[in-house]
């Protein structure tokens, strides 16, 4: 539980904001020096996502996606814009969203909104998104804020829409990272928070071909 490792909630959030303000607005900056894994990450995410976008009675639509913790738009550019008509981005760091406007190039014209906001304070527009993609950012939310945010995401989905979380998973319990003021939860804790938010797990997958020294990364789809 984050309540056991986060002593001061205000400090937890403000330290994280300060950390990201000093990170260069590059792919390498977004990935903590692991920019070389970006293509492996995107290709796996595309395969995972496309199973929900294929033909079928419960097929997820491709009208609009939301990129949460979007940074400079690495996922928006390479995963979401090629698959969706329009994308919205939300990130707490204004400099990243400013950089996104040049990084995304011509296709960036299909980004409708750049929301500068922490996810603990952000509410997706109800009944608006086919996919809400949340990658490498849940560690910046307390358990209660993550559960509440996921409830708001659930309300933000269109019919057959899905919420996707892709993130690091600890081997056991909850681990605090004082450098970027984030937590890493184990699989059981994440699944409990998903259930608490009233969401139902549709698929779960471990990322392959990442460096051995980093945390295991899992992707979850839910609605």
- Token output for 25: 């607005």
Q: Is 92 annotated as a binding residue?
A: yes
How far is Cα 131 from Cα 148, in angstroms, rounded to an integer?
18
How far is Cα 72 from Cα 97, in angstroms, rounded to an integer?
6
Residue 161 has a CB neighbour count (10 Å cut-off) of 23
How far is Cα 69 from Cα 146, in angstroms, rounded to an integer?
13
Q: Is 161 annotated as a binding residue?
A: no
- Judged on CB neighbours under 10 Å (0-12, 13-18, 19+), 221 is buried
Q: Is 120 annotated as a binding residue?
A: yes
The bridge status of strand 174-177 relative to strand 182-185 is antiparallel
How long a stretch of residues is the chain?
223
Q: Is 50 annotated as a binding residue?
A: no
Q: Is 173 annotated as a binding residue?
A: no
Q: Is 91 annotated as a binding residue?
A: yes
Q: Is 93 annotated as a binding residue?
A: yes
Q: Is 135 annotated as a binding residue?
A: yes
- Output the known binding site for S-adenosyl-L-methionine: 69, 74, 91-93, 119-120, 135
* Residues contributing to the annotated binding site: 69, 74, 91-93, 119-120, 135
């Amino acid at each position: 539980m984050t309540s056991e490792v986060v002593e001061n909630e205000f400090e937890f959030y403000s330290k994280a904001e300060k950390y990201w303000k000093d990170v260069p607005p590059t792919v390498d900056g977004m990935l903590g020096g692991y920019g070389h894994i970006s293509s492996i990450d995107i290709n796996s995410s595309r395969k995972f996502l496309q199973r929900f976008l294929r033909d079928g009675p419960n097929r997820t639509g491709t009208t609009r996606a939301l990129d949460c913790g979007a940074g400079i738009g690495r996922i928006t550019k390479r995963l979401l814009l090629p698959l969706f008509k329009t994308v919205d981005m939300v990130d707490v760091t204004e400099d990243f969203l400013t950089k996104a406007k040049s990084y995304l190039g011509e296709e960036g014209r299909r980004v409708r909104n750049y929301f500068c906001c922490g996810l603990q304070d952000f509410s997706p527009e109800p009944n608006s998104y086919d996919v809400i993609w949340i990658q490498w950012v849940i560690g910046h939310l307390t358990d209660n804020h993550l559960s509440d945010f996921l409830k708001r995401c659930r309300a933000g989905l269109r019919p057959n829409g899905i919420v996707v979380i892709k993130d690091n998973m600890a081997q056991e319990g909850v681990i605090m990272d004082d450098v970027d003021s984030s937590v890493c939860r184990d699989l059981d804790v994440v699944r409990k928070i998903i259930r608490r938010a009233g969401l139902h797990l549709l698929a779960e997958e471990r990322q392959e071909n990442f460096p051995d020294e980093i945390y295991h990364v899992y992707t979850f789809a839910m609605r």
